[in-house]
Amino acid sequence: MNNYHKLLIPGLFLLLIAGCDDYLSKDPIGLLTPEQVDMQPTKTTIQYAVSSSYQLLSGTLNIIGEWGWDDGTVTRNDFILQDIASDDMQKKWNPDGDQAWMDEFNNFSFIASNGGFNGQWAYNYEGISRVNTAIDYLTNEEMMTKLNFDAVEKNRLLGESYFLRAFYYFDLVTNFGGVPLLIKPLESFNEAYEIAVRATADEVWQQINEDLASARTLLPDAKYAHPTEKWRVSKGAVIAMQAKTALFNENWQEVITHVNSVEATHFYDLNENYFDSFDVEKEFTEEEVIFCYDHQSAQTPRRGNGLCALLGWGFVAPESSFIEAFEENDPRLFYTVDTEMKNVNKILGTLNGEYKGDDDAPANKIYIRYADLLLWKAEALLNSGNPGEAISIINRIRARARNSITVNGVLPPAGTLPDREIEETSITLITGWLQHERRVELGFESHRFRDLKRWGIAGEVLGSRGFQQLHHIYPIPQREIDKSGGSIIQTEGY
């Protein structure tokens, strides 16, 4: 088949593997129409193929489907699968029966037909489908020559695409284990059926590592890969993702090496004030954010943070144990959530409730920031026999927090968040310090459930709420099992 005509094919994968019922009647949002496919791709077509691949990382409402609550597709579900499933977040400030499927993550009563799984699966595979189309274009040398495509731009766009595919697969493998591995546009229904089998988790991890290694060689040595479109994937983001992949595979020395490489760029640092990473007025001017989705209001197609609309409906509230985890006067609690006004400040990007209820809000979705990266290194150092260095990093995170100006314009009281004892040698105690610091530093950023699982303490922390061993891996969405005719095998226990 002519490469120019392959853009139509990724939709087939969604129909057979990643689709909701209404996908059968319309093209996935963001893909070119069949009429456009008949035309030879232009430079603009190829640029759009890459930029549209970011869209599935957004919190924008109805990227897939139209108010598909039962399908779990109204917005991206990270806050459900990672935060509500943890001991940090509950569905609403005032619990009710609205969207009861979300509550099933809080008490681990879900089954494979829960829409949350379908939504996350569909968003990730739609992203992968778009990325594969972009990679197919950018690696077609005949096409690149014919379009006189600038080599530097081609390499940058290809590096972004490899990163995005790795990112989507990272989310899939850490949620579902082994999943179908799609690394090129599909050319026929038969090929789509052939790919509808689960690769092993090891094979998925291998693909992630290969894509990240490729991306690293292609992106420029700069803080921002593009001088004006600062939201694009940078080399720093790629190296950080390499560190995170190593972390989840307990390759401690690789974690340290990759984090050291990010530090050596001197592109990133802890912001002076904790909330600067989330402040809508400081986006892309602060120093800490390494990778985020750039939400913008009043754009066509829409790019706003629709999760802020859900906050206006009472969704997203802290668990009492999350609030109790903060030490006295820790300013990070208020910067995360204002319990009096019931505002989730981190998501809103403001401290006064602005954008609450706004389905087109400008607050970015942060995926990787420097504090997270430093705590990966601390964990790797601790597991490599360097507890003192790990404690030093923990203390650096605590020092930034206690030196952050509070919402009242003053520093926290003296004695807030004292340093941990640098001479401590108890690995158990230091591990507890690290786990505590990650919880309060990164709360509501969709890390907690994965952390509990990889630390092996999810049963201890969440067992009273129904967590069992099988919940370390989520079930494959039941509709995907059904659509594959049984060629995709369900996770054991579901």
Q: How far apart are CA 222 and CA 194, in angstroms?
A: 41
Q: How far apart are CA 347 and CA 364, in angstroms?
A: 8
Beta bridge partners of 366: 292
- CA neighbours within 13 Å on the CB side: how many for 221? 4
DSSP class of 199? P
132 burial class (0-12, 13-18, 19+ CB within 10 angstroms)?
buried
Count CB neighbours of 454 within 10 A: 16
- What's the pLDDT score for residue 30? 33
Q: Which two tokens stand for residue 120?
A: 């996350």
- What's the pLDDT score for residue 193? 80
Q: Are strands 315-318 and 89-92 parallel, antiparallel or unpaired?
A: antiparallel
DSSP string across 255-295: HHHHHHHHHHHT-----SSGGGGT-GGGTTTSS-EEEEE--
Buried b (16+ CB within 10 A) or exposed e, 33-69: eeeebeeebeeebbebbbbbbbbbbbbbbebbbeebe
SS3 92: strand
Q: Are strands 289-293 and 315-318 parallel, antiparallel or unpaired?
A: unpaired
Q: Which two tokens stand for residue 38?
A: 């008949």
- What's the pLDDT score for residue 418? 98
Residues 6+ apart with CB under 8 A from 252: 246, 380, 381, 383, 384
Write out the H or E segment, with its range, that includes residue 317.
strand 315-318
- What's the pLDDT score for residue 321? 98
Query: Residue 147, by phi and psi: left (phi above 0), alpha (psi -120 to 50) or beta?
Result: alpha
State the distance between the two ends of the chain, measured CA to CA, in whole angstroms: 40
How does pLDDT run along the chain (494 residues), one tens digit per residue?
A: 333 334 333 333 443 433 333 333 333 333 333 444 435 899 999 999 999 999 999 999 999 989 999 999 999 999 999 999 999 999 999 999 999 999 999 999 999 999 999 999 999 999 999 999 999 999 999 999 999 999 999 999 999 999 999 999 999 999 999 999 999 998 777 777 888 999 999 999 999 999 999 999 999 999 999 999 999 999 999 999 999 999 999 999 999 999 999 999 999 999 999 999 999 999 999 999 999 999 999 999 999 999 999 999 999 999 999 999 999 999 999 999 999 999 999 999 999 999 999 999 999 999 999 999 999 999 999 999 999 999 999 999 999 999 999 999 999 999 999 999 999 999 999 999 999 999 999 999 999 999 999 999 999 999 999 999 999 999 999 999 998 988 999 999 99
DSSP class of 366? E
Q: How far apart are CA 339 and CA 277, in angstroms?
A: 20
Residues 6+ apart with CB under 8 A from 369: 277, 288, 289, 290
* Residue 15, CA distances (Å) to 20, 71, 176 in order: 8, 14, 20
pTM of the model: 0.93
Domains of the chain by range and CATH? Answer: 1-218 (1.25.40.390), 221-446 (1.25.40.390)
| Three-state helix/strand/coil letters over 169-193 | HHHHHHHHCCCCCCCCCCCCHHHHH
Q: How far apart are CA 447 and CA 450, in angstroms?
A: 6
Q: Are 135 and 158 in contact (CB under 8 A)?
A: yes
DSSP string across 374-424: HHHHHHHHHTTT-HHHHHHHHHHHHHHHHTSPPTTSSPPPTTSSPPPPTT-
